[in-house]
Chain A
Amino acid sequence: MTRENPSPYVVTAPASSHRVWKDRAPLIGRLDMELTERCNNNCIHCCINLPEDDKARLREMSKDEIKRILNEAVALGALSVRFTGGEPLLREDFSEMYLYARKLGLKVMLFTNARCITPEIADMLALVPPLEKIEVTVYGMTRGSYEAVSRSPGSFDEFRRGMDLLLERKIPFIVKGAVLPPNRDEMEQFEEWAATIPAMDKPPSYSIFFDLRCRRDSPEKNHLIHTLRAKPRDGVSILSRNRESYLKSMREFCSKFMRPPGDSLFSCGAGHGACVDAYGMVQPCLMLRHPSVVYNLKSGSLKDALTRFFPAVREMKATNPDYLSRCARCFLKGLCETCPAKSWMEHGTLDTPVEYLCEVAHEQARDLGLILEGEKAWEVKDWEERIRRFSKNIPG
């Protein structure tokens, strides 16, 4: 849709609905790029962070490699790049990469903890705006709760300073939360504060059902993450705390996206975009690092990944009998977060049901009235009728 536009010459349109990206679908709309896996925080729940001074730095892409990939993404039609990590601002050449991307005509999405935002970086962001709201994850409202999560002394003050620098310069940003034992009682306070941030046009989103380590690198950290995960019932209560709007969005969602997937592994958008990790491997989605589905950009091209490699990945079928007898037949599949990426993180495979996520999906479905206590979703025969009634709000 084009905005009301009195000019006969210049057509103004929000990028999200611009006809080039909507109708003509260039090979890639947005490129995701992890600039580093290192982070200045050491969050208790994090699925990716390495220490700030980790020797992984030596393996990270050089700035020339990053520039080459950005050039190719632009040539293929990308409109935006998301810089994430780890903490992307830890890279000493962050400003150079940022300006390079913007001068190529890319919008930049930036995911950060805000600790490294200095007056110089804030000035740069004010002068050459990212054209997307910056997204800042907030780990607590007090020094005590924040640093109990970040396990990094001084991090709270640095994060607050970063926020203040953005606010002073009117740089649009939004905040997101992660619901964890140290900050669980602060949600109300967090939401009240978030509502005072000018660019927040809706309540903040939260991470609740934490992922295990996406490099499968630390059983100890995985053990800790297991203990931090919300119980399915508690998680669903958080998800549905604004009951009316939650039900409205779920009715819409369920009518569109819920059905058994069969043996196709990928029913999501994985592989339609590209996510480049800190070392120059491109993944079909940010979380999916199984070696059989990633592509080495150092010896190939984004175009080859998008036109040859990923389409073949998307054709992959599940073979695990457990998956085939459950997930393949399960109408909660759109609701459930079990997917090849989560299966990789939990089990090192692409097609193993993830019990925790299965429990969450069943809890959510019970809460919505889609299944009864004790029912297994993959055994439900009249699922279409149940979804129809739920979507239309017909009492069952």
Chain B
Amino acid sequence: MEHEVSLDRVYSPSKDIVARDVMGELIIVPLASGIGNTEDEIYTLNETGRAIWDRLDGRTNLREIAKSLAREFDAPPGEIELDIQGLIGELFHRRMVIAV
């Protein structure tokens, strides 16, 4: 699925997955068919991924998310934007987020 991630777009978690917080970790469990490769595969995001995921509220675009993360972590926005594009691209490819 080719998709160019745009920082001006809003993304939200897909209804094809269930995101759960288990012991402080974000666990993504496939709901619809065709997401995992094997029947017992589940997914976790790294710390950066988790921080981005928590901000995917279906209203805020990625550029705004990058700004808020740059403020919070005192990091250069350019770097954070790259991380966001990488993560959202991968999650979109895996059908775990949708563009709103």
Contact = CB atoms under 8 A, between A and B. Distances in A.
Interface of A: 7-16, 18-20, 24, 26, 74, 77, 79, 102-107, 126-133, 172
Majority DSSP secondary structure for residues of B touching A:
mixed
Nearest to A80: B40
For the side of the interface on B, what is the size category?
20 to 34
Given A16-B40, A131-B29, 13 more contacts: A10-B46, A10-B87, A10-B91, A11-B43, A11-B44, A11-B46, A15-B40, A20-B22, A20-B23, A106-B29, A127-B32, A129-B33, A172-B39
Nearest to A23: B23
Interface string B6-45: 0000000000001110110101111111001011111111
Contacts, number: 93
B20 A105 contact: yes
B32 A128 contact: yes
B90 A103 contact: no
Given A9-B90, A126-B33, A14 B45 contact: no
B94 interface: yes
A77 B24 CA distance: 10
B46 A12 contact: no
Contacts of B45: 9-11
A19 B33 CA distance: 24
A9 B46 CA distance: 5
22 contacts: A9-B48, A9-B87, A10-B28, A10-B44, A10-B87, A10-B91, A11-B46, A16-B40, A18-B42, A26-B23, A74-B20, A77-B23, A104-B18, A105-B29, A105-B31, A106-B29, A130-B39, A131-B39, A131-B40, A132-B39, A133-B39, A172-B39
B49 interface: yes
A7 B90 contact: yes
Given A9-B86, A14-B41, A24-B23, A131 B94 contact: no
